[in-house]
Structure 1
């Protein structure tokens, strides 16, 4: 009798406490705002940990709401940690701050952004603005807690279509069971300025859902194997109607594809349907863009795979072309890959139908197997500060009007602080290169951030501000602590391309007549056909401490040339005291006069085409 009564009393007490906490008022919480010390904006994904190992993580407003009974009324120390952000250490080496935690109270923590890119908000998953709602703070999106019953979502793609932005994701988690949707999820949002949010604020997603309200299968196929999509693009079909297309792959695992092909969106049924099957040689994905070459419009699935931009070509994979050095008709086969060389032994690069291209990792395998020299590769990026090789993976390439360059945001395998969580920025004069130097813009501490995607439809101020996102997860990291709510979800970042750290060295071209040029003045000197070689790279814009270098006929000099602007800028001859060691720097001399230091050319290849970006 006593036991039953005690059980009843405890249950009643627990239910009462749960009911009370479920309807707690903002005044019942202690609020901590973690903000960027420079901008004052709230920083998402900041961990605050007590001395008893209780962890809190800021929501997308940078807010933590605390109502723990054991902490209220106490002075509490919070250790502060966040990927790519820092907080000063005290005399004992601890990074943290103490607060008198009390209901209705509020504290603030200012942290310094070390990343070049700015973390803005989480886009998918549960509890995006959970803590903000608990303390009564305003939130920008309509579904701040749970949208489409989605708790996790892998790998994004997005493209404007039918007056909206159409979004795709891969494997999708739900609250009710560990297995969710493995046949692709989708949603739409309204464009900024047309009913949609400014990308600075967020993305309001409207999911396609099933009868239970969960994000539905967008490409239903027989069997239980995952079906992944990506590479979305729009194009008129054979009847002239604008349609939405996307490559798909049904997979056994990350490395084994069972079936691949091209699909088209059925607007009435709100599902994707098969249009064409791909063979095993070319299976497009990537982040497509359009460009004109020689007056002909092409659809590029990525920088090294294209097809003429019309319905007949995109639905016929045998007419796809890869920019590659493989022998015609060949596929990648590790150290046994067949390469095409001319009579002099030089690799023959070109646009080849029904022939596989090479990914950066595959290039590295061929280099290690002595099948290819490093200078023959097209995608071997190097850290602009140290010269260290960047094992780049994935990412996306788009034309940027502000830089007047093709801009690439790419991931890195085998990074220094994470296996697959370091993100780099690079730029080139054409989609195929020359890709040489990159700057790290995001770092993670033993956490993964992969499959990053630029969103050029969000570009602002003529491309000065660009937005991109990626999947944040523990996969491949070895990290056993999954960040609650954030893990396996998409996080948005912004880059300001006028940041001086993103002024990367550009190719300085040696022309066939002996003169020098950069892409900015190459058209006046005969265009790409006039280029003989790329002897080195120089900085394109003036920065404190750099040496202006002028072109005068076939000579280079540091003394001003009447009526001329500097062609490029070089580092001073003498190394700076805080400058990192960089084996890629070389001394530039002219007539026994030292002009400065420039960056070595990484490639002997000239993957140059007069490529003009198109909408």
Structure 2
């Protein structure tokens, strides 16, 4: 029996092929390109990791000429005479093949921030990962705020290995200030997740009541206070309670501060939503503006005013931005930020009812005021029947005078026309870079 087992082990080892290394790079700058899909003629799917690598060890694909269709959400190769976009090559066990893709987007994909297997293809090729696994497989919609010498990152519903909706009371992590040492791929975000006593990622907003807890409008103050708006959810998307909550450093959780509305109350009052920015008005008064993407509410910029709904004021939303051809672009969600390089306010937002993706087309615009009007609307990122929502400009990740901005958003098959979910990438955060001198 022992000899039989040993024979089986040795046989399996003998027949295991060393992978062929596929390198996918941007033809313009040579950067590795994550999230490029290769599909064989018999529909095996291979997706580049944060290193821009794919490891192929399928026996039927090695040592003969094979064809792969190439799909990359704004990265691709030229069409051939039949209209196919792909590459043809002979893959060798232990060999190497390089694919140069052309970028059609203005925004450059830097990589996936969250989820498992960020460097999985490289690991198959013997390359040590740049980060350990976190135990997070997927997460929805980021909020960030600087607090002390760190950045606080918070997400909504979060997938863990043992269950699709393993955390539904918001997960969170911290990083150092400006945690990225460079602003080109490959990237590796050094999250320190809040964990339970067994070392697993945990929820940080155990607000009483059934169903998920979603947080929004998270904002920090000078004495390390951190607050947010919370929503209790039923039936997948329906709010039944809304209020404010405050971070408790002792329990390392958000706790209820004030309940603002319940479903039995009727119409909702003014609620702080979206992503906050700080602004000093022409009269010299400091405000917190809240919007998603454009400001719809404000309060004086101090913790006591934030806690007191009596100080909150409604703002009228500006007109929708227009593209260079005059077409009105209806925003879905997004964020704004002051940009020192352009000396203007800038916005990144998802287009509602966009094409080719319904909620996956990303636009950039500018304004002299955070209250609008917003001009020079330019599409900077597109997706092929896939969703990219709730994008946030990440000013805390870059130097103040950087000639580029970084933004991240949630990449998900939700709300698209039944696309196959992208392995490992689906329902996770992806980071992009937009060089401002390239925006006309």
Q: TM-score of the superposition, structure 2-length normalised?
A: 0.91
Distance in 1, Cα, partners of 2:169 & 2:288: 26
CA–CA separation in structure 2 for the residues paired with 1:182 and 1:271: 14
CA distance in 1, matches of 2:333, 2:311: 24
Matched with 2:272 is 284
Partner of 1:170: 156
Contact between 2:131 and 2:188, CA under 8 Å: does it hold in 1?
no
Q: Which of 174, 182, 196 is equivalent to 1:198?
A: 182
The correspondence of residues 222-261 of structure 1 with structure 2, limited to 5 A, is 222-236=208-222, 241-253=223-235, 256-261=238-243
Question: What SS does the corresponding residue of 1:457 show, helix, strand or coil?
Answer: helix
Within-5 A mapping of 1:328-347? none
> What are the superposed Cα offsets for residues 481-530 of structure 1, whole Å, 9 maximum, x if unpaired?
0000000000000000111xx23xxxxxxxxxxxxxxxxxxxxxxxxxxx
Matched, 1:442 2:377: no
1:197 deviates by: 3.8
In 2, Cα distance between equivalents of 1:266 and 1:99: 57
Cα shift readout 1:39-80 (whole Å, capped 9, x = no counterpart): 101111101011111110100111100111222222221111
CA offset digits 1:11-53 (Å, max 9, x no partner):
9949974x889xx8xx811000010000101111101011111
State whether structure 2 residue 271 is matched by structure 1 residue 263: no
TM-score by length of 1: 0.66
Partner of 2:73: 83
Question: Is residue 140 of structure 2 the alignment partner of residue 150 of structure 1?
Answer: no
Give aligned pairs, total. 427
Higher strand proportion (structure 1 or 2): 2
CA distance 1:254–1:394, change in 2 (3 Å) = farther
- 2:285 corresponds, among 272, 296, 301, to 296
**1:518-567 residue CA offsets vs partner (Å, 9 max, x unmatched):** xxxxxxxxxxxxxxxxxxxxxxxxxxxxxxxxxxxxxxxxxxxxxxxxxx
**1:190–1:196 contact (8 Å) kept in structure 2:** no
3-state SS, counterpart of residue 390 of structure 1: coil
**Counterpart pick for 1:65 among 52, 55, 60:** 55
Which residue is equivalent to 2:364? 425
> How far apart, in 2, do the equivalents of 1:10 and 1:432 lie?
72
Residue range with higher mean Cα deviation, 256-265 or 43-52: 256-265
Of 195, 202, 221 in structure 2, the residue corresponding to residue 216 of structure 1 is 202
Question: In the alignment, is residue 391 of structure 1 matched against residue 330 of structure 2?
Answer: yes
Please tell me whether the aligned partners of residues 395 and 452 of structure 1 are also in contact (alpha carbons under 8 angstroms).
yes
Q: Hey, what does 2:265 align to over in structure 1?
A: none
> Could you tell me how far 1:313 is from its partner in structure 2?
1.1
1:143-165, CA deviations, whole angstroms, 9 ceiling, x for partnerless residues?
2xx31x11110000112112111
Mark the structure with the bigger radius of gyration: 1
Deviation at 1:389, TM superposition (A): 2.2
> Could you tell me how far apart the structure 1 residues matched to 2:410 and 2:101 are?
23
Contact 2:180 2:188 in 1 (8 A): no
C-alpha distance 460-235 of structure 1, shift in aligned 2 (>3 A): closer
The answer to which of 262-271 and 441-450 deviates more is: 262-271
Look up the SS of the partner of 1:168 in the other structure.
Answer: strand
Inter-partner Cα distance in structure 2 for 1:81 and 1:36: 13
- 1:545-560 counterparts in 2 under 5 A? none
Contact residue 307 and residue 319 of structure 1 kept, 8 A: yes
Q: Report if the CA contact (8 A) 1:189-1:196 is conserved.
A: no
Whole-angstrom CA distance in 2 between matches of 1:189 and 1:20 = 44
Mapped partners of 1:205, 1:91: distance in 2: 47
Residue 43 (structure 1) aligns with: 33
Separation in 1 of the partners of 2:38 and 2:419? 18
Partner in structure 2 of residue 333 of structure 1: none
1: distance between equivalents of 2:424 and 2:297? 36
Shift of 1:417: 0.2
Query: Where does the alignment leave 5 or more consecutive residues of structure 2 unmatched?
Result: 262-267
Separation in 2 of the partners of 1:313 and 1:277? 16
Once residues 6 and 115 of structure 2 are traced to their aligned partners in structure 1, the CA distance between those partners, rounded to angstroms, is 32
Q: Which has the higher contact order (CA 8 A, sep 6+)?
A: 2
SS in 2 for 1:314: helix
Q: Distance in 2 between matches of 1:410 and 1:120?
A: 18
Find 2:105's aligned residue among 90, 111, 115: 115
| Alpha-carbon contact 1:264-1:272 (below 8 Å) kept | yes
- Choose which of 466, 470, 489 in structure 1 pairs with 2:405: 466
The 3 A distance-change label for structure 1 pair 13 and 419 is farther
- How far apart, CA to CA, are the structure 1 residues paired with 2:199 and 2:106? 39
| Aligned residue among 375, 380, 403 for 2:320 | 380
